Amino acid sequence: MSGLPLIRLSATPSKAGGLRPARLVAKWIEMRATRAALARLDTRLLRDIGLEQSVARAEIERPFWRP
């Protein structure tokens, strides 16, 4: 078996805070889009929002499924 975590698909949120499959996919899409937008910002704009380039780069490189 692979080392990937299993996602429990459920019709309702779990007690552990899991999301419904459609909401989970929507959240992944949102995180991917947000990180793509962050990747388009130059150093000046990153400074304007209070982020160092190294912090932004670490966030951009995270997989879309990781919050």
Q: Per residue of the chain (67 residues), give pLDDT as tens.
A: 444 444 444 445 555 567 789 999 999 999 999 999 999 999 999 999 999 999 999 999 999 888 8
The tens digit of pLDDT for each residue in 33-46 reads 999 999 999 999 99
What is residue 48's predicted lDDT score, i.e. its pLDDT? Answer: 96
What is residue 13's predicted lDDT score, i.e. its pLDDT? Answer: 54
Task: At 66, give phi and psi (nearest 5°).
Answer: -100, 120
Largest CA distance in the chain: 45
Instruction: Report whether 35 contacts 62 (CB < 8 A).
Output: yes
What is residue 36's predicted lDDT score, i.e. its pLDDT? Answer: 95
